[in-house]
Structure formats: structure tokens, C-alpha cells
Chains A and B, each alone.
Chain A
Amino acid sequence: MPVQLNRGIILVSLVLLEITACNPFIQANQDDHISSPQHRDSVADSTKLIPVETFSSDYFPCSDCHSEIPLNPQRRELVEMHDDIVFDHDSENRWCLACHNESNRDSLVLAGGKLLGFNESYKLCGQCHGPKIRDWKLGIHGKRTGQWNGQKQYLLCVHCHDPHSPKFKKLQPMPPPRRPEDIKIDSIYEREEKDSTSP
């Protein structure tokens, strides 16, 4: 269900999570993506929801496996499956079942017991991160793309923050600008000469 904001113009698009490998959450979509020119012709329709990514995985629904496995609520180190998950998110006080529902394995669960789909995970984050979820709804925190005066795509919390280890991961920077002493002026002159002599 979309969260309606102040004027009802901006709607949170229900962005479906992408699940990769055993870890259902990935670092932000850092591919260099810019809205393509065909969006220029589209008429702003603020009510249309735009999924940023599609939900596709061999690992969902979780119940495919977990319905066969008896529940073990014991806090323990995971082996065999999901052992690639680095859990560093208040791990002293929380464990898998703090967010994943123990009886309905395809759902998340709020502290009060309410079940949530994975596409509403931001509500789960908002339980603890109150000011952040407030800023996210206002468009201050997080990333919006699309139209500044119309349709926008929203990234959910988990697009940028791995919920198991939420600190934003470092990136390799793009190259620095060329220093003036490194500018190869001769090659530029040569090119200009060639351009001026070619018909």
C-alpha cells in the first residue's frame, strides 16, 4: 500500500526487492543509471507506481525450503545455508527472528506481531530509525529519481543498506581531474590541425 505524503502528489512506489544468492539484500543499485530520454515524452501521472527492480530469485518463497525444516529458535551460528550473511546490525540484541517471522517464513514481522511483505520492509526499519524514516518519506533521506514535478521512483532502505550489515559500503572513486601539468597539449594541437585540413 502506498504511503501518501503531504499533497498526495508523491507516492512511495512499492519497490520490490531483488534477491541475489543466499543473501536476499544487495548493496544499492550502483549501476550508472539515468532515466532514459523516452521519459521526456511521458505525461506526469503521479498515481502510477513504478517498480525500480523486479523480484526474482531462486530463494523466494522462503517457505519452499523452510516448510520442510522444523523451526529451531535457538540463537546459533548458521552453517550449510545462509552462512554468507554477515550479521552486524545490533547483533548483540537481535537475531534472524527479530525481523523474519517464525511461522510465516515468507513474511517479515514488526515488533508488535504484525506481518509484513518484503516490499514493506521500510516499515520494519522505521520501528527503530524514526527520524530516518520521517526524512525518507519527505524525500530528504534516500534517493528519488524520475521527475521533480511528477512520477518518481523510490529506492527502499534495503536498496542502499544491507539490512544484515547496514553501513553503506565504500566505493572506488572515478578518476580525478587531470592536473594542468599532465595535459598533453601536443596531441590536442595535432588533432586540431588534422580537423582543419580535412575537408
Chain B
Amino acid sequence: MKWMAVGTASIAGLSLLSSCDSDKREAFFQDQFKELDENELKAVLERLERGYKKEYNADIEVNATAPMDHVLFGYGLDLSKCIGCRRCVYACVEENNQSRNPEVHWIKVLEMEKDKGADLLHSDVYYNPEQVPEEGHFYMPVQCQQCKNAPCVKVCPVEATWTEPDGIVVVDYDWCLGCRNCMSACPYGARKFNWASPEIPQEEINIHTEYLGNRPRAKGVVEKCTFCIQRVRQGLYPACVEICPVGSRKFGNLLDEQSEIRTIMKNKRVFILKEELNTQPKFYYFYGT
């Protein structure tokens, strides 16, 4: 039995090696992102763009923008303002090329009762009234908290996920095995798995992508919020900040004392989610009023 399995594997390997599709061969032997030198990286990005052109018939650009010096990203969310309209959920889907079917959402908005406070066990993610906010309720959007002490990073058996110098926890989708250890380690439910090959309408594809961010993913890999790495490394606000109709979402550089996020941390009542787990998130909930 074992001999047969080895035999089959080597036949598969040989057919791959002898395949005339050099892109497939290159993809098979591609190194982990951090081990690629400049030329290799360039070749990988070009190959990905060729592949996406074939797959999606769109001119998708794949960049690998380096983090900025002296920048550590932090996020603020004003619980006293959020009305639970879910505009952020769908702006994120479009910006980050998430699968529409099966549906992948990087942001979950939890509806909670004011009487019970921030009680995750009794929260409702499926609320659907005519209009929000509903009487007696408040809303708590949850997405990747970009932990400094990230449990998901620790459990990855192949180092396919790590924390970048600017604080963003990223995934190398080409290195991810799909074992989903990270998903069970994350206490925020922030990581999503592509159970099937993602479906993105061709006309809705965002062609400005990052290797470690919003480039289209494949079936069998894990993905998550990256603070819109393709936007924030260009100096732009994340898509969820831009879309929020009530201005409850704040973003900036934690190392800059004058930034909005630092001003909030200094002046407002701030808390982090599940502080007791020592994950040290860089996502700060606060009460603006």
C-alpha cells in the first residue's frame, strides 16, 4: 500500500516536473514569502498576475509594499456611535475580494442588549430589523484585532502567518496548508476559511492588491482582516473607516502621539476585547461620549 502511494506521488511529481506549464512548476516550488529575494519576489508577483489574468480575465496588480518605518497601526471603534448598519462588512468584502459564494465576511457586527452590556454569549449576529439602531440595543463590530501576542501566529505549523513590523498580522496564502489551527486559536473568530473556490463577480474585482492582503485567494486557505494593508501602506484609511456613516471607526499610527488613535487612548474610556487572554490587541473599543 505504502509503496503504491509513494509510486503515485512520484508519478504525480514527475508529470508536474515534465509539464510544459512552467508557471505551475514555479508555483509548486515557490518559497515562503519572507524567504524570497528581490528577483524571486518580482517573478512571483508577475506569475500571480498572469495567473489571475487567466482565471479572472482582469488586470489585477499584485504588489508587495514594504511596511513604513516608525509606524505601528492601531484601530479605534466608538461603541457609543456604531448603529449596526453593516456598511463596513460589505465595503470590506468589495475592497478585499472576499468570496461572495460561499460568503466570507471579515467583519461581524454583534447586536447586544444595553441591559446586559458587552456580553458576547448573548449577542446576535443575524439581526435584521427594518431600521437600525434598534431600541435598547448597541452594536459591536468584531474583526481581526491584530494582536501583539497573537495566538494564531504561534500555532501555525509552517509559519504561514506572522506579524509584520507595522503590526499587521498577515497570511502567506501560498504557504498556508489549510490546517485551520489558527482559526481555533483565535479567540475573536476573526479568521475565515475558504471551504470552496471563492466566487467574485468579474466586474467587482478590486484590481489593486497586495500579496499579503486582498489578492484573490484559493480554495483551502485561511484569510482575515489586514487593516486593508493595500490601502494603509499607501497612507489611505481602511475601507471600513471610509464607509462608516457615523464616523465610529478611527485609525492611525500608535507611535505618533498626535494621531487620532493616540488622542482617543489618552482622552476616552478605552478597552480591549478579552483582555484577560493577554493577546494584546491593537484594536481599541472606546466610548466617545
Contacts and interface: CB of A to CB of B under 8 A. Distances in A.
Contacts of B208: 37, 40
Given A44-B235, A175-B128, A176-B126, A141 B288 contact: yes
Contacts of A148: 232, 235-237, 251-253, 259-260
Contacts of A155: 247
A9 B258 contact: yes
Interface residues of B, number: 54
B239 interface: yes
Nearest to B244: A143
Nearest to B247: A143
A140 B253 contact: no
B101 interface: yes
Contacts of A191: 101, 196-197, 199
Contacts of A44: 235
B237 A147 contact: yes
Interface in B35-89: 78, 83-87, 89
Contact of A140 (B102, B237, B263): B263
Contacts of B239: 34
A32 B108 contact: no
A51 B155 CA distance: 48
Interface residues of A, number: 47
A76 interface: no
Contact of A174 (B86, B235, B242): B86
Contact of A34 (B95, B130, B267): B95
Nearest to B248: A143
B95 A139 contact: no
Interface string A142-153: 111111111000
Contacts of A9: 258
A139 B263 contact: yes
A30 interface: yes
Contacts of B264: 140
23 contacts: A6-B258, A32-B91, A34-B91, A40-B234, A145-B241, A147-B237, A148-B237, A148-B251, A160-B245, A160-B246, A170-B133, A171-B131, A173-B84, A173-B128, A174-B85, A174-B87, A175-B86, A176-B128, A177-B108, A183-B103, A189-B196, A191-B196, A191-B199
Given A30-B245, A44-B235, A174-B89, 9 more contacts: A34-B239, A37-B208, A147-B237, A171-B83, A173-B85, A175-B86, A177-B108, A191-B197, A191-B199
Interface of B: 78, 83-87, 89-91, 95, 101-103, 105, 108, 125-133, 196-197, 199, 208, 219, 232, 234-237, 239, 241-247, 250-253, 258-260, 263-264, 267-268, 288
Interface of A: 6-7, 9, 28, 30, 32-35, 37, 39-40, 44, 135, 138-150, 155, 160, 168, 170-179, 183, 187-189, 191-192, 195
The 7 A-B pairs at the shortest CB distance, nearest first, are namely A143-B247, A174-B86, A139-B260, A170-B131, A147-B235, A34-B242, A176-B126
